[in-house]
Amino acid sequence: MTLPEATRILELMEAFRTSKAMFTAVSLGVFDRLEHSPSEAAALAEEFNVQCDALERLLDSCVGLGLLRRRGSQYVNQPIASAYLCTDRESTLTGYILYSNHVLYPMWSHLDDAIREGTPRWKQTFGTEGSIFDHFFRTEEAKQTFLKGMHGLGVLSSPKVIAAFDLSRFRKLIDLGGGTGHLAIAAAERYPQLKAVVFDLPQVIESARPQVSKSASAARISVHGGDFFLDELPDGDLFAMSRILHDWPTEKITSLLNKIRARLPKGGGLLLAEKLLNEEKSGPISAQMQSLNMLVCTEGKERTLGEYRTLLEEAGFENVSGHITGGPLDAIFASKHG
């Protein structure tokens, strides 16, 4: 019997190694340090107070991964590392990488138990009660790491989500759970007639102010602290949520959608940014892995456009449309019925 080619299985066996190598290099500060100047392994090892041969193996692995290159005996950042793996870049993804390293990586080690019990692994991993959302705000450093991670992903995804549908008829956007304001910023910059409000928890919303201030449309963007489950929502004719609904079970989603619908005027709109599974749930792999991530971390999951359509129509929305953006998140739009 001829065996199938084993390459894919071998790649999957080793996939966690490549992730962890990048996570560790970011955590050590390798890319930040090399962005200032190229360096040899021995000098970096002394600066980082680590063993030289071990660090050299990590650096060589980053060369193999396409993150660094060798210039003689020195290591230099590749452009992709300069753009996404240095903490001071607007496009940085280091926040989400550090969050993945410190939170997701250990939680995923309990995926088998999550599958067995169908529940998140917060207590099992960290030994404390509460949800992963409590972890985000346990310290100022943890909060900023998480928000920086969400901002980096948002810089990549939000302009594509905003461009997915014609939103020119709307005048005021309420961005629920808007974090650092990346979606509101993208909307205001694309539509000069649009005012936007970033609505998030009081401990989060202050992080939006410095990001909003950098935008040429800052005068049309305001921030508002509150809990969208508990507090009254601001007035607007367009509501938006990015990576919010996938965190929650159906009951909470239904309650929130009903609350939004009640606040919208006739003809008002709702824009969602989520990663869509195809209708057969056979892909894409990024959405499938994110759905497993929601199992490990939260009460939520990823959904198909059909599943979102059902949720939205049951809450009184109509004309539900989806758009695959090609970015980290896809777009869903619906309007208020009646």
Which amino acids are annotated catalytic?
Answer: 246
The closest of 329, 335, 333 to 276, measured between CA atoms, is 329
**Residue 260 Cα distances to 140, 256, 300, 303, 327, angstroms:** 30, 6, 19, 20, 26
Strand partners, 196: 173, 221
Q: What letter would DSSP give residue 270?
A: E
DSSP secondary structure string for all residues of 207-226: THHHHHHTSTTGGGEEEEE-
**Residue 65 Cα distances to 35, 77, 92, 300, 319, angstroms:** 17, 12, 18, 33, 44
Strand partners, 238: 173, 269
Strand partners, 175: 198, 240
Tally of residues, the chain: 338
The pair of three-digit structure tokens given for residue 191, joined into one six-digit string: 């539509």
